[in-house]
Structure 1
């Protein structure tokens, strides 16, 4: 092909890029490193006219090269982890990211931005104000504002002043700061159990008997009132249904409950439970609610344990729907107490 050998590999690359630039969605040079982008731009700057025969030869060679490609790998750790998705364990993923950070490969800032909220807040409270200012400058605005709002008033003022000095920081220095933050985040203590202790205790007490639940909460109130408050907010029992469940979800909940269980729960004599029962009935059609009331009257005397088990079954059904994303519970107010 005449003229093809007259172009170097860089010039051929420049021809392909020039052709692709006519389609804004077809090419992005941002994945190339800075040196490669510079070399490509310099090569293009030194070129003028390429004849049609040479252009066609370059395109044919490029297409032949594409057809010869069997498998393409990302070429960097972040891309590889994204490709593997959830195939690796969390520990293996963390270890790979730590090794990459220590060796200086890749951009550390996307990994800094992906750190858990607690880790970011811990770094914001422990690192120098200059480091925190750079971190706020690199984080997405939403995460940065959330982190800034968690600072003490004096520290927030100091960080804001330090942000005025971030304009002149070099890319190399910014890269090193990102690595320092990743290494600092890695040294933070990580709990072996992710769920907060108050939430775990609250989830357990959801299915305890009322007298046991009250006894445990009274003891916690005496020993650690703050922890007891967290447990109370995590508890969701039958009497909380009017405050935590939206009326529009009642029919969906009732469909998942066997009618004998529903009837026993609706027959609970406690005033708070009776109010929850009335709330459930109000969310049903008039005909269905009247039918349930008639069947409740025909139940006869129920044992307390039968009623307690039925209430627990209804709470469990609501929790299952919540976990499946079929309904959203209303969050309790801070001063909500267990009835």
Structure 2
């Protein structure tokens, strides 16, 4: 049992991401830092103010899932512009019911504060398209309000009884410092309306992702994420190595090593196989639909495919433990290239 306990628990998150010498406190941690603040960085990681202005990337993402629907919601500040998207995927009909993606106006249409958890607030407003994400200290929830065209989302993600968050901190080759906070699964309440349809979020599960840093000019990643209230995982292969790979199991947060993604990049709706080199996770992903986007903005570009579907296979907290079966766990994968 000693080995299992050692594998299951990461050190507590520090109070600050930069130490007294101006160096990054790189590592994987349990919990969240109060504020992601890179102002105290020292050379060579610290760059000029102009470089930081145009290379700083900051985003807030949330996933809401029930047996009926999957919703993805994001607000992104790219430094020189901002953008947002939201969609509702019907898991029974296997189709996107409604979606929007909108580029904004720098400094006007979006705001993300530096708090990844307590005190977090982000918003995007463009004409009749509005997203608002905020931490509500009175009842310790994340509140999400979305309105566009025929869609209204009103959701609360309940933090109090959730597993610890993952905080991953490090440097990026070709970029600078970077940090991301990923949550495990949280209880949901609220509702999603699409036209005349109304979907209750009660008995659903939500998760959030807050990232803040300086990726390289050209960045590519493969990503997979899925959660229920008992288990979940976050996996990435690409610009951040295995830094944000983690498993949540029965309230425990377990670090995972590098992830291998076996898939057909020319047909992301074909089955995927994903496993980690430490022998703690082996999953097959069956896509049921896909959200994709291809933008070329001259100085920037984004090619993005996010299949939605379910994972089956097994996970375990330690190699000495028997594998825990995973059956039809709803989530997403992603193949993303950005020049930003």
The structure whose residues are more often strand, as a share, is 2
TM-score above 0.5: no
TM-score w.r.t. length of structure 1: 0.21
TM-score w.r.t. length of structure 2: 0.21
The higher radius of gyration belongs to: 1
The structure whose residues are more often helix, as a share, is 1
